[in-house]
Amino acid sequence: MLSRTRIGAAMVAAGEAAKESVKQLLVPGMLFEELGIKYVGPIDGHDVAQVQNAITWAKGNDGPVLVHAVTRKGMGYAHAENRPDAFHGVSPFSVETGEPASGSGGAPSFTDVFGAALVGEAAADERIVAITAAMPAGTGLTRFAVEFPERFYDVGIAEQHAVGLAAGLAHGGMVPVVAIYSTFLQRAYDQVIMDAALQGLHIVFCLDRAGLVGEDGPTHHGVFDLTYLRAVPNLTIMAPADEAELVHMLHTALSLDGPVAIRYPRGAGTGAALPEHAELYRRGEAEVRREGADVAILAVGRMVPAAMAAADLLAEAGVEARVVNMRWVKPLDVGAIESAARSPLVVTIEENAVAGGFGAGVLEVLAARDAQPRVLQLGVPDCFVTHGDMAALLAEIGLTPSGIRDAILLALGHPQAGGTG
């Protein structure tokens, strides 16, 4: 009856709107129902019978169904319930105490070294701010968040926004450090190009978990960052061979202009002595770690120690290798590459996809030469590497010292090729 009058019709419309608003507020799943998706929940995700019933009901319906199960991370194990971030990805630990088992030889992780170094840098420069996407502990920023809460931003699982926010802060005169896992920066690729690089903004991207990450598997292996970042103009890329170099590279990155990316692996470092004072590296300058005339090995990141160990194994076979820690993936040290080209064989080693990676950059430099040496590219093959023990995965793709040695001996046609184990 109300709807038959002008005033009454307005009252009815207002009442319907109010009813829908209350339903949206109080009834779970209304958003999905409006989209034509049947909604079940929320249910107790730890109640097996509830979950089974919900899934059985969902399977019997036509069309899309969303089952909303609420769980608590670490449920049933007190240490995990109390410290869910510490148990996001676990290595061997004591069941009684929840503490990680020793076995790394006391070497700190790259993540911990980065976190401590950033705190030191921030204490000296109040312009430095840290940004993460829901991973403060995983990226080593917990201490930073405690000591500089007004300069710490956790944007949640929104990597695109993390980079966009960094661009805004950089425009305002701050020096943003964006700490994100290598595999997750892929989500913000457009922002890296358009918001950071195109603007030439000074943003430091610290890419944790670069390279293989073991049991976390194909979704978390950070083996594409050198490939997708090399193509971006104005962007500088570095890769430390050990934790001491990470300290120097962070200090250097903070002093440069424009966007800079530092990529480093998961887990314990090499045990290198950490410097009391960070040094500035000269942009685009590599470091020769070993001399040899039979083969030149150009390596980046965690593959530098592997290359040094491989050189020792090659020496036992009578092959002397020159080992260069390239340090910079962009810009490359052209002089170091040209020097390496005087060897009968140039070998590039990277814990990144061979397609479009560091080795491809070396080939681009050599392509401009009249006389080109033979080049062997070692890295992650054109496949998705499975999950598993780190040592086993590296062995599977030939990035262990013995695997590197065998590949080089084979390329040289050495008498011991194929018989070294």
- Asked if 354 and 421 touch (Cβ cutoff 8 Å), the reply is no
As given in the structure block, the two tokens for residue 290 are: 């070993």
Tell me the fold of 110-263: Rossmann fold (3.40.50)
Give 178's strand partners.
131, 205
Active-site annotation, residues: 73, 159, 187
287-412: CATH, from 3.20.20.105, 3.30.300.30, 3.40.50.10540, 3.40.50.920: 3.40.50.920
Instruction: Provide the angle, in degrees to the nearest 10, between the axes of the packed helices 401-412 and 303-316.
Output: 60
Query: pTM for this structure?
Result: 0.85
As given in the structure block, the two tokens for residue 417 are: 């090729």
Please compute, for residue 36, the number of CA atoms within 13 A of its CA located in the half-sphere on the CB side. 3
Start-to-end CA distance of the chain, whole Å, equals: 91
CA torsion angle for 132, 133, 136, 137 (degrees, to 10)? -130
- pLDDT tens profile 17-64: 776 666 556 566 778 888 889 998 899 999 999 999 999 999 999 899
Please compute, for residue 267, the number of CA atoms within 13 A of its CA located in the half-sphere on the CB side. 20
Of 4-18, 141-155, 200-214, 232-246, where does mean pLDDT reach its minimum? 4-18
Domains 110-263 and 287-412 share a fold: yes
Confidence (pLDDT) at 21: 65
Neighbour count for residue 172 (Cβ, 10 Å): 10
DSSP 188: G
- Asked if 374 and 346 touch (Cβ cutoff 8 Å), the reply is yes
Task: Provide the residue type at 412 as one letter.
Answer: L
Q: Is the pLDDT of residue 218 over 90?
A: yes
Q: What angle do CA 165, 266, 278 make, to 5 degrees?
A: 70
- pLDDT tens profile 192-212: 999 999 999 999 999 999 999
Confidence of residue 314 (pLDDT cuts 50, 70, 90): very high
For the chain, the maximum distance between any two Cα atoms, rounded to a whole number of angstroms, is 101
- 3-state SS assignment for residue 307: helix
Confidence (pLDDT) at 206: 98
Please compute, for residue 417, the number of CA atoms within 13 A of its CA located in the half-sphere on the CB side. 10
Strand 345-353 and strand 328-330: the pairing is unpaired
- Asked if 292 and 243 touch (Cβ cutoff 8 Å), the reply is no
DSSP 269: -
**Among 192, 221, 252, which Cα is nearest to 381's?**
221
Domain boundaries, the chain: 2-81, 110-263, 287-412
Polymer length of the chain: 421
> Mean pLDDT across the stretch 117-137?
97
60-84 in b/e form (b: 16+ CB < 10 A) is eeeeebebebeeeebeeeebbeeee
* Phi, psi dihedrals of residue 197, rounded to the nearest 5°: -70, -45
Confidence (pLDDT) at 28: 65
- 3-state SS assignment for residue 70: strand
**CA–CA dist 76, 382 (Å, integer):** 41
| CA dihedral sign of residues 394, 395, 401, 403 | negative
- Asked if 32 and 41 touch (Cβ cutoff 8 Å), the reply is no
